[in-house]
Structure 1
């Protein structure tokens, strides 16, 4: 019996890392030249392999045990829930989003762009994260930090397109909560 192949949940995040063949994502994280502490490294790699000891995984808890989240008491305690949907951890999800947004703003300002951040669109309930003008046309960049699964990253991208496309050019910046890079983000680089 092969225990690794019996774990159907494993490899989902790792599959997301292989979406882009030229991505330096995995090489950067495996490199010894990183500011991450060993403790952070261990957590990150266990999270990416989906082998954290969480109640929602059948390999960690038996069928009779409670699988609800230890923090909020709701839903199954899985990596997906803990990183993106647990009410007790939402401030960390917001912090991840704001960190990406701040980095994007800093890079655009360094390139000489006039940038507005979190400005509400008049007459709408929409507020793109970053707005700038390129060649006379308005471009909106909206940051999404979602779980590192190919399906959820693509869905997040499409939701942002649908949400803002009637207002002008939209470039969703989709980042996985464990650091995956959506190949469609390359459009923002150009």
Structure 2
């Protein structure tokens, strides 16, 4: 709001000397020259007027000339304050006062000189771009932003809340910004930052939802929620589906999540599901590298298996389906859905459901970690909070 006040003041001052009415224009020019003369102690030139309105404090423009408060002094102060955020200044290069607005442009474009009625929206647009860029550059924001901004499915619940509980909604926005309260995320103080459950590592959100082994059962359920949706979406014509079993005819002891065997075409499709955390230092440098590393790890894991089956005459494909722990849908999953013959219409729904399932489980893991109250039912039990962890809550 403060920036909008500065913009309104600058726009009002710009309209006065450029008003179509010569009488208004003459009064404005006379007042501006008088105010500038009081500041510098001599009749001002057009360049002096531009320097005055830009908030210049060098030399004679920094002296106390005894000027009184007016529209022009407010414009001078507003321009100087706004210049702390935007490269804005007044110019009189053509003999007429105008506002120059510089922008960072890779092509090396010249500063914009807004004229006429477009000055206000150009200044507001520059402020919007400024705050958007500041938000993206924040460390907490940048860790996950590049991951979940890659697909609309990652944030499908923003407006409709589809397949998302109210508690998940409240959790996910803070989690993606790194603002959930944990021992290692305290901004102030020197308290113990170790995990309250395992005590071995700092209690960060990645540790809680992906690395604290006390939640291994919940990790498996989160993984299976995504895996089962893909299994149900694979049509029967693709072949026989094996879930978490050894590949038929292989000597390898590996048990991929999903293996589709089409004996008529000697075709073998292996899909492994992973739920990595969308963070880490590499994600700050070049995009969703946390998701890319998860794919590379899966492909490397089953490379020997694929070579073995190809040597036996099977057309073998190894894929990885990656969904971030905070509900990020990886665009690299799209070829996987096509190879599994998932219908495009259902794929749209399935992406959203997978993201919502992952968010729901990550939220339950976090709440259980902090409160000590089980957030899901054990096999053969009913209710959603039916047991309590034995570890103390700090």
Q: Is the 8 A contact 2:227 2:273 kept in 1?
A: yes
Gap change, CA 1:68 and 1:95, over 3 Å in 2: same
Task: Give the number of the structure whose residues are more often helix, by fraction.
Answer: 2
Q: CA RMSD in A?
A: 2.4
Cα separation, partners in 2 of 1:151 and 1:72, compared to 1, 3 Å: same
Deviations 1:21-65 (A, max 9, x none): xx2224412122423222221011111121111111242x52x21
The question of whether the paired residues in 1 share the 8 Å contact of 2:194 and 2:200 is answered with: yes
Q: In the alignment, which residue of structure 1 is the partner of 2:140?
A: 9
Aligned in 2, Cα 1:110/1:100: closer, same or farther, shift over 3 Å?
farther
Of residues 191, 194, 197 in structure 2, which corresponds to 1:65? 191
- Please give the alpha-carbon distance, in whole angstroms, between the structure 1 residues aligned to 2:157 and 2:300: 33
Question: For 2:137 and 2:152, how far apart are their aligned partners in 1?
Answer: 30
- Partner residue of 2:290? 152
In proportion to residue count, which structure has more strand? 1
More divergent stretch after superposition (108-117 vs 26-35): 108-117
Which residue, out of 304, 313, 325, partners 1:177? 325
Q: Does 1:91 align with 2:222?
A: no
Who wins on radius of gyration, i.e. which is larger? 2
Q: Which residue of 2 aligns with 1:35?
A: 163
1:189 aligns with 2:327: no
5+ residue gaps, structure 2, are 1-130, 280-287, 307-315, 339-394
Q: CA deviation at 1:123?
A: 2.4
- Distance of 1:89 and 1:179 partners within structure 2: 18
Question: Would you say the 8 A contact 2:136–2:142 is kept in 1?
Answer: no
Rounded to whole Å, the distance in 1 between the matches of 2:143 and 2:229 is 27
2:154 and 2:327 in contact (8 A); partners too: no
Q: Which moved more, 1:130-139 or 1:80-89?
A: 130-139
Contact persistence 1:109–1:115 (CA under 8 A): no
> Is the partner of 1:176 in helix, strand or coil?
coil
Cα gap change, 1:28/1:165 in structure 2, threshold over 3 Å: closer, same or farther? same
Aligned to 1:165: 303
SS of the residue 1:56 aligns to: helix
After TM superposition, the score normalised by the length of structure 2 is 0.43
Secondary structure, counterpart of 1:169 in structure 2: strand
- Structure 1 unaligned spans of 5+: none
SS at match of 1:9: helix
Alpha-carbon distance in 2 for matches of 1:5, 1:107: 36
Aligned equivalents of 1:31, 1:120: Cα separation in 2: 43
After TM superposition, give the deviation of residue 141 of structure 1 in Å.
0.3
Write out aligned runs for 1:65-144 (5 A).
Answer: 65-109=191-235, 113-121=239-247, 122-133=250-261, 135-144=265-274
CA contact (8 A) 1:11 1:50 kept: no
- Following superposition, the deviation at residue 113 of structure 1 comes to 4.1
Bigger relative CO (Cα 8 Å, ≥ 6 apart): 1
Q: Determine the C-alpha separation between the residues in 1 that align with 2:336 and 2:294.
A: 16
